[in-house]
Copies of this chain bind each other. A is one copy, B any other.
Amino acid sequence: MARMAGVSAPTVSKVLNGRAGVAPQTRQRVEEVLREHGYRRPDAVGPAAMLEVVFYALENQIAIEIMRGVERVASEHELAVGFSEMRGREAPGRSWLEQVLARRPAGIIAVFAESTPEQYAKLAASAIPVVALDPTGEPLHTTPSVGATNWSGGVAATRHLLELGHSRIATITGPLDYLCARARLDGYRAAMDAANAPIGAGMVRTGRFDVTTGLVEGRALLGLRTPPTAIVCGNDLQALGVYEAARQAGLRIPRDLSVVGFDDLEYARWCGPTLTTVRQPFEDMGATAARVVLGLAAGDVPANPRVELATSLIVRESTDVPRP
């Protein structure tokens, strides 16, 4: 090193230790040699460790709740939390995912709203521990994952309506290539079967997890010859669409129609009437994912590659006994 810079070893030592007694030009020459060889002072380099949370398109509010949970655990370990959103974009130069990987975070939490096997393969190929947080329930068997009990949530939502006295209960589901949508639908069917409540023709509708699907399928359901008295929605956005369909049909919720959502977005507490829904504990799911990925980073083998946190029914104003 000293020879490469053309200076004495004590001089290199002075530069390394930031001590005085070195001419500026000499200091600069030594620093250049160090730089050429890829060395920098760590304190000029930045954070040593962080957890990176990668979102693959997701509801705004869900994203921030997950971030909160991850941050709670990360800050206990004095780690930063990085936020990235994968939106199919290709940045100029290095791809976005390559940027994330190049940062070498202590761990990555990949929040999948859609199955993206190619992107996932890239993550898996890196040596960085990865945990999948999949509110949509898409299991990636090759990696540990955290989710919620969707099937039980579907049962709880439907059973609540049955207990209120409803029997003509319809459901709107999300896309059936999402396992969470299937699980919620199966929960609905299981509760109806267990109560010997037949599922009428046209009472199961499928669409996307959005307001428009709730509006379109809600209209279709309310237009049936014998319309449902209650609807179990695939998520809260669909429930808001059903609210609008009811409004357009001149029906009042819950007097003329009971509605149950899924997720418990903040809006569920604000909308009129407030929405009965199945709550997913997004913040706790984020915290759990952070703990699992930190465990992987520490070399632990997770006892269970799949953790599902409990959903819970939150009863508000949008459900009531059916009108006689």
Contacts of A78 in B (CB 8 A): 93-94, 99, 102
Which of these binds chain B: A40-48, A144-152, A307-315?
A: A40-48
| Alpha-carbon separation in the docked complex, A45 to B16 (Å) | 18
CA distance A76 to B90 in the complex (A): 11
In the complex, per-residue mask of A30-55: 1 if CB is within 8 Å of any chain B CB, else 0: 00001001111111011111101100
Q: A75 contacts B91, CB within 8 Å?
A: yes
Listed residue (A68, A244, A269, A272) with the most chain B CB atoms within 10 angstroms of its CB: A272
Give chain B residues whose Cβ lies under 8 Å from the Cβ of A234. Answer: none
Chain A: interface residue count, which band? 35 or more
Q: How far is the CA of A77 from the CA of B271 in the complex (A)?
A: 41
B50/A48 in contact, CB under 8 A:
no
A111 to chain B, nearest CB (A): 12
Task: Enumerate the 5 nearest inter-chain pairs by beta-carbon distance, A residue then B residue, closest first.
Answer: A1-B1, A3-B9, A16-B37, A47-B103, A80-B82
A residues near B, CB below 8 A? 1-4, 9, 12-13, 16-17, 34, 37-43, 45-50, 52-53, 60-61, 63-65, 67-68, 71, 75-76, 78, 80-85, 91-94, 96, 99-100, 102-106, 211, 237, 240, 243-244, 247, 266-267, 269-272
8 contacts between A and B (CB under 8 A): A1-B13, A16-B37, A38-B43, A46-B50, A76-B91, A78-B93, A81-B82, A240-B270
